Structure 1
Amino acid sequence: MRHWTGRQWLTAAAGTAAALVVLGVPAVLIPNGLFTREIDPTWWSYPVWAATSVLSGLLLATYVRTGPRDRAPADAPGPGRTGLGGTVLSWFAIGCPVCNKLVLSALGTSGALTWFAPLQPVLAAVGPVLLAAALRSRLRAQRACRVGAPA
């Protein structure tokens, strides 16, 4: 990341800010009038939210073209899926267990509290790890496939 351009750092900052809003508003970690939360957030929801947002912004910045000949490798779909999976797991982890319509429709209210709520800390641990793995993979690919300036 030492060799990143200003454009990449700007993208990372904008991506982080966007992730903070996109994840924080529905999870009501950012108080708002659009969504309500029946169960207060856990103490670890805020650090997971912050870590997920920063890692998502940094991962997004790895997809920014830095020059006319710079392209993402065509055979590297893994990091994108891993990053998306990490973000989705983190979103499920920080959200209210009984406010999530997908969880409620699958498990019901008692199932959400009995089965899903105890699973949220595991999701909170796995989500950022997947994002970090995707970021590491993308950064390694950038370092290995560095495109030099035309002579």
Structure 2
Amino acid sequence: MREWTARHWSVAALVSAVVALVTGVVTGLVPNPLFTRMIEAPWWSYPVWIVSAVLSGLLVATYLAPSAQSEAERTRDQRRNVVGAVLSFLAVGCPTCNKLVVLALGTSGAITWFGPLQPVLAIGSLALLGFALRARLRSARVCRLSGAGRP
């Protein structure tokens, strides 16, 4: 893989911080006056929150480098990015604070059905983000080895 420049690391750090801040505030993991959790966050929410933010930042930074991916592969990876980010948001959010879940399942259904499903969503989100990052890094490596993207 081509060495990352300071620009790559700066973008990765900035995007990670923004994703962590937005997700943390909206899900109530970061105490704030705008959003209050009705149910305390489980211990695993915090590592999932941070790891998903870091993976998202690294993924965005990979788009600064030339890639040997086809348009279909790029679209597939972008879908993984979005689905992974949405799943991580749902995984760390308060089950009874999610209006869509409460509307679909009711408050007791959100606690009984959606709450226990959240760790599965967390694992799925981290897996999707990890697969997308691996694919992007592999395509950057292929691009470097083939000489594509050179002026």
| Same-fold call, TM cutoff 0.5 | yes
Verify: 1:139 aligned to 2:133, yes or no: no
Match of 2:53 in 1: 53
Residues 73 and 9 (structure 1 numbering): CA distance in 2 closer, same or farther, change over 3 Å? farther
Greater helix share, 1 or 2?
2
Post-superposition shift, 1:93? 0.7
Q: TM-score, normalised by structure 1?
A: 0.90
Q: Is the 8 A contact 2:88 2:121 kept in 1?
A: yes
How far, CA to CA, are the matches of 2:2 and 2:18 in structure 1?
A: 23
Gaps of 5+ in 1: none
Residue identity over aligned pairs, in percent, reads 55
Q: Deviations over 1:98-141 (max 9, x none)?
A: 00111111111011011100101111111111100000011111
Secondary structure at 1:75 match in 2: helix
Secondary structure at 1:9 match in 2: helix
How many residue pairs get matched? 146
Verify: 1:74 aligned to 2:71, yes or no: yes
Q: TM-score, normalised by structure 2?
A: 0.90
How far, CA to CA, are the matches of 1:7 and 1:29 in structure 2?
A: 29
Post-superposition shift, 1:148? 5.5
Please, which moves more after superposition, 138-147 or 51-60? 138-147
How far, CA to CA, are the matches of 1:127 and 1:74 in structure 2?
A: 23
Match of 2:96 in 1: 98
Post-superposition shift, 1:18? 0.6
- RMSD between aligned residues: 1.5
